[in-house]
């Protein structure tokens, strides 16, 4: 016969086993999507002197109601999962272009991209006419960022930005000032649009809507493309299309220029190191590529602007290389990664072929 204490322990063990059994049947993505358990003591920024001083300074700068800004920012909560997610991968983690590419370029995303293109053909054509950005690239960016709105993030943006503004985790380069700028931009955006900064949902880093714009990017580059008097990046595809194209144009997109060329890298490792030195920044002419032993395809040899030798590592296998143009570099201004840029290019090409 179990006494009362033993009975409680036994029931607790059974409950834990049942919970584990139910979790084990969920797919990995479902597990990742489960909300993190709240800590016993929830940290709100109403009790954070630095956050309240920031609220006062922001209100004074932008002519906002200080009491209201304090009240709104005071409702923001520290989210510990945000602090974990912002950390870089462990040191020594090998980059793998093939694995990265496979995450984004599959039949489901290609078909969804084709549907998005067909539905928004008018806006994509207008954007290309105005800014010179090909439709497939705009479509591809929306697909890679949020799978055409299926995955836009479920964090309150104010929580994410407050966490990274006042509790940025140690162990990586401190970006507190960047996120404080984005938190300020969120309040500026809310004032302009007459919206509630507490209601906006987004990624763990504070990116919002189908194109995952940070608040400052919404303020600078988002456009009311359909002229309805309101910018909506969550549900208005016209504004999404126009804003993505305008963003790329603002960062130097060149109408009609290819994004990259095929290249055989130099055999000599020192020549290769010289070409790889500037990373993705276009620096060398086609002639300088040739002088260093890099063999461009015929179109690349005729290119008149600067090029960058872009390396895409494949784990333990041989790396892949392309010669990136100014337009390749422009795509990396959306997400500062050559792997990201190449995935955008490849997904866009696959959708265009399907079309």
Q: Closest Cα partner for 146 from 202, 236, 211?
A: 211
SS3 352: helix
Distance between CA atoms of 249 and 31, rounded to whole angstroms? 39
What per-residue confidence (pLDDT) applies to 78? 96
Task: Specify the pLDDT at position 288.
Answer: 98
pLDDT for the residue numbered 225:
98
Q: Which uninterrupted H or E stretch holds 46?
A: none
Q: What's the whole-model pTM score?
A: 0.86
Q: What backbone phi and psi angles, to 5 degrees, belong to 109?
A: -70, -35
Active-site residue, 128 included = no
Pairwise CA distance, residues 184 & 222, whole Å: 17
Name the catalytic one among 136, 145, 184, 311: 145
**Chain CA centroid to CA 131, Å:** 22
The separation between the first and the last C-alpha atoms of the chain, rounded to the nearest angstrom, is: 72
Angle between helices 121-131 and 237-250 (to 10 degrees): 20
Angstrom distance (rounded) from CA 73 to CA 198:
8
Which residues, listed in sequence order, are joined to residue 261 by a DSSP beta bridge? 323
- Tokens at 349, concatenated: 């090409």
At residue 85, the 3 state secondary structure works out as: helix
Burial class of residue 258, CB neighbours in 10 A (0-12, 13-18, 19+): middle
pLDDT reported for residue 19: 35
Map tokens 């969120």 to a residue: 186
Q: What is the 3-state secondary structure (H, E, C) of 127-147?
A: HHHHHCCCHHHHHHHHHHHHC
Q: Is the separation of the CB atoms in 329 and 282 below 8 Å?
A: yes
133 contact partners, CB below 8 Å, separation of at least 6: 127, 244, 245, 248, 249, 253
Q: What is the pLDDT of residue 95?
A: 92
Pairing between β-strand 295-296 and β-strand 260-264 as defined by DSSP bridges? antiparallel
Tell me the mean pLDDT per 10 residues along the chain, length 355. Answer: 39 36 30 39 87 97 95 96 93 89 96 98 98 98 97 97 97 95 97 93 97 98 96 97 98 98 97 97 98 98 97 95 98 96 98 94
Where are the chain's structural domains? 260-324
Furthest-apart CA atoms within the chain: distance in Å: 88
């Amino acid at each position: 016969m179990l006494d009362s204490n033993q009975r409680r322990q036994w029931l607790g063990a059974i409950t834990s086993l049942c919970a584990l059994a139910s979790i084990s049947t969920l797919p990995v993505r479902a597990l990742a999507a489960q909300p993190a358990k709240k800590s016993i003591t929830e940290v709100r920024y109403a009790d954070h002197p630095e956050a309240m001083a920031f609220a006062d300074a922001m209100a004074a700068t932008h002519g906002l109601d200080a009491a209201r800004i304090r009240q709104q920012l005071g409702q923001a909560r520290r989210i510990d999962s945000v602090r974990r997610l912002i950390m870089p991968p462990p040191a020594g983690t090998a980059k793998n272009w093939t694995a990265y590419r496979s995450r984004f370029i599959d039949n489901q995303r290609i078909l969804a991209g084709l549907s998005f293109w067909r539905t928004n053909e008018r806006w994509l054509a207008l954007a290309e006419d105005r800014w010179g950005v090909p439709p497939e690239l705009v479509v591809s960016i929306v697909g890679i960022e949020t799978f055409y709105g299926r995955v836009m993030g479920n964090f309150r943006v104010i929580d994410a930005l407050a966490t990274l503004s006042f509790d940025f985790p140690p162990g990586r380069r401190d970006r507190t000032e960047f996120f404080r700028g984005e938190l300020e931009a969120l309040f500026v955006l809310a004032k302009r649009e007459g919206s509630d900064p507490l209601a906006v949902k987004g990624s763990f880093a504070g990116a919002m809507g189908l194109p995952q714009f940070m608040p400052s990017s919404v303020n600078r580059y988002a456009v009311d493309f359909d002229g309805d008097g309101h910018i909506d990046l969550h549900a208005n595809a016209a504004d999404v299309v126009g804003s993505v194209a305008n963003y790329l144009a603002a960062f130097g997109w060149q109408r009609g220029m290819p994004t990259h060329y095929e290249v055989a890298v130099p055999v000599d490792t020192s020549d290769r190191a010289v070409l790889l030195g500037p990373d993705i920044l276009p620096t060398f002419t086609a002639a300088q590529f040739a002088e260093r032993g890099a063999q461009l395809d015929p179109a690349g040899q005729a290119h008149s602007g600067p090029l960058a030798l872009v390396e895409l590592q494949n784990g333990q296998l041989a790396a892949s290389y392309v010669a990136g143009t100014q337009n390749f570099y422009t795509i990396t201004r959306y997400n500062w990664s050559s792997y990201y840029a190449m995935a955008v290019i490849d997904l866009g090409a696959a959708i265009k072929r399907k079309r």
